[in-house]
Amino acid sequence: MQGRVIRARGGFFDVYTTEEIERRCRARGIFKKRGQTVLVGDLVQLVPMGETEGVIEEILPRSTELLRPPVANITQAFVIFSIVEPLIQTYLLDGLLVAVQQAGIRPVIVFTKCDIATDQDKEDLFNQYRLTGFPIFFVSSRKEIGLEDVKEALTGEITVLAGPSGVGKSSLLNALAPHFSLETGGISEKMGRGRHTTRHVSLLSVGENAWVADTPGFSQLSLSVASQDVRLYYPDFFPFAQNCPYRGCLHLQEENCAVQAAVERGDLPAERLTNYQTLVNNKIEQEGRQY
């Protein structure tokens, strides 16, 4: 029998099985000997025991593996930013898009709190990210705008949420699946998350064959990409970068850089390039300090 590990606690693993029930499982001792750990998100082979228990016999190959939170087989990351309150910082958004792709995970851009943003703001953001080809959603958890489209995007996927504090990640999860009643507003939750409390990641069911990790992932700190590789995560630059005078053009100050030319013509959003250049320059500086 197969199943998906959705929770790990005190040496037990809760596995959602093909029978569509949860079984509380132990892992075979052999994993420890091999130095393997069962992760939340793992697809496992198990032997059922009784009505509600089982033993995990095998971990099936993982497509992705995150360290923070420790979760396997994430297929997509919702990169979540509010447009206002707090005001969007596109530099952080662009950095998260790079970090997510670097982990082999597909980014989905979600702009929250649409109820308090202007149409002009939404249009500008849409135009800024349209050429990346990543899916873009505009939602309001408070006014229940755009939630159906988001639900559809979650189907068949294991999703992790990423984004700064206060942008409405918990509110979005609550709006999608009200039975979670996650704490929102930050304060009480942050106190519960004190330095000494261990946070366990769980997968929450947000519909049939749709799972979301309850602990956000990725941060600016997790971005370990080399300066010359940043450009590999800018699909909106690709069609123009082909015409740069030489391979390996970093699109910084190079003469006849086709990406810079595209921005000057208005074919690429200027902010995408300036954020990119800041990121690359910061990386170059960091690398310089390491030697």
Ligand X SMILES: Nc1nc2c(ncn2[C@@H]2O[C@H](COP(=O)(O)OP(=O)(O)OP(=O)(O)O)[C@@H](O)[C@H]2O)c(=O)[nH]1
- Of the candidate spans 117-125, 139-147, 220-228, 267-275, the one that interacts with ligand X by CB under 6 A turns out to be 139-147
Is 169 marked as a binding-site residue?
yes
192 binds, among Zn ion, ligand X, none (CB under 5 to 8 A by kind): none
DSSP element (H, E) containing 45: strand 43-49
Q: How far is CA 267 from CA 115, 135, 194, 262, 280, in A?
A: 30, 20, 46, 5, 21
3-state secondary structure of 112: strand
In sequence order, what are the residues at sequence separation of 6 or more whose Cβ sits closer than 8 angstroms to the Cβ of residue 120?
Answer: none
User: For residues 63 and 194, what is the distance between their CA atoms, to the nearest angstrom?
Assistant: 32
Q: Does 166 bind ligand X (CB under 6 A)?
A: yes
Number of residues that bind ligand X (CB under 6 A): 18
Is the bond preceding residue 69 a cis peptide, omega within 30 degrees? Answer: yes
Among 63, 88, 40, 67, smallest CA distance to 222 is for 67
Structure tokens at 166: 């206060």
Among 4, 7, 23, 113, binds ligand X (CB under 6 A): 113
Q: Does 185 bind ligand X (CB under 6 A)?
A: yes
DSSP element (H, E) containing 65: strand 65-66
Is 140 marked as a binding-site residue?
no
- Of the candidate spans 48-56, 107-115, 196-204, 246-254, the one that interacts with Zn ion by CB under 5 A turns out to be 246-254
- Of the candidate spans 43-51, 92-100, 113-121, 261-269, the one that interacts with ligand X by CB under 6 A turns out to be 113-121
Q: Which of residues 152-191 bind Zn ion (CB under 5 A)?
A: none
- Smallest separation, CB 229 to ligand X (Å): 29
Among 201, 228, 231, smallest CA distance to 213 is for 201
User: For residues 88 and 82, what is the distance between their CA atoms, to the nearest angstrom?
Assistant: 6
Is 25 marked as a binding-site residue?
no
Q: Does 140 bind ligand X (CB under 6 A)?
A: yes
Q: Does 169 bind ligand X (CB under 6 A)?
A: yes
Give residues in contact with ligand X (CB under 6 A). Answer: 112-113, 115-116, 140-142, 165-171, 184-186, 189
Binding site for Zn ion (CB under 5 A): 244, 249, 251, 257, 259
